[in-house]
Amino acid sequence: MNADGERLQKVLARLGFGSRRVCEELIAEGRVTVNGDVAVLGRRVDVDGDDVAVDGAPVGIRPDLVHYLLNKPTGVITTADDPQGRPTVVEIVPSEPRVFPVGRLDADTEGLLLLTNDGDMTHRLTHPSFGVEKEYLASVEGTPSRAAIRQLREGVELDDGPTAKARVTAVDDSLLRITIHEGRNRQVRRMCEAVGHPVTRLVRTRIGPIVDRRLKPGEWRALSRDEVRSLEIAVGGQSDQRYDRHP
């Protein structure tokens, strides 16, 4: 047991599980685990190394990590530093602590983008083996036929290989909702182009469990603890170095 760490009930209280007293009860009821073992009262934890879960759900305990959700407007570049001096997504959110975008949206794509200093979360969200869903609304030229939609669903041949199965529904004549779990460069645009319906406007509307219909282009907010937790669950556990589960 780590004698130098922070008291578990204090960490849980800071994360919003209730007063320290309530958190002590959670521990006493056996609902809290540390590194997979049921925690006992008096337990201390290392916020950088230990895995804490409440009722089996992993809890991110590092206080230094920030997670922002941005509704990226068009014309803003998804990079930490643009040599050509164009506006970048990191300029929209607080500069301290330094954060990085999770994956990228094209300059002309709008919608939800995560920015964080949580490198492990970034890795998990962007690595195809974790298969986190990304949902887009794509306005396209013309009206895709049923066959075109079926082709998008089943996979289209792109110059870097066929795409995986996707969920595709027609919202309107020229508006498709497309859900993919890969993250290839300009993938949605290339998929639509491949079936003869180039994209005229592309908006990302969901990243795994994260949605926000009220955030306007150019606005950002911090993710709630529940949202961070839901992302951690979506990528298979609390952010740490357990890459071994997904080689």
Contact 139, 106 (CB under 8 A): no
CA distance 234 to 125: 9
Backbone angles phi, psi at 55, to 5 degrees: 50, 40
- Residue 106 bears catalytic tag: yes
Q: Which of 52, 38, 37 is nearest to 5 (CA)?
A: 52
Q: Taking CB under 6 A as the rule, which mask of x and - marks residues 187-226 in contact with ligand URA?
A: xxx------------x------------------------
Please list the residues that pair with 129 across neighbouring strands: none
Q: Among 51, 81, 82, 106, which one carries the catalytic annotation?
A: 106
Residue placing its CB nearer to ligand URA in the complex, 72 or 124: 72
Residue placing its CB nearer to ligand URA in the complex, 42 or 161: 161
Q: Taking CB under 6 A as the rule, which mask of x and - marks residues 102-121 in contact with ligand URA?
A: ---xx--x------------
CA distance 200 to 216: 20
DSSP string covering 88-139? BGGGTS-SSS--EESS---TTEEEEEEEES-HHHHHHHH-GGG---EEEEEE
CB of 109 to ligand URA, least distance (A): 3
Residue placing its CB nearer to ligand URA in the complex, 187 or 205: 187
Q: Considering only residues 68-107, where is the footprint of ligand URA by CB under 6 A?
A: 105-106
Contact 37, 86 (CB under 8 A): no
Residue in the block written with tokens 């030229």: 141
Residue placing its CB nearer to ligand URA in the complex, 45 or 203: 203
CB of 36 to ligand URA, least distance (A): 37
176: contact with ligand URA by CB under 6 A: no
Which positions touch ligand URA (CB under 6 A)? 105-106, 109, 186-189, 202
The residues annotated as belonging to the active site are: 106
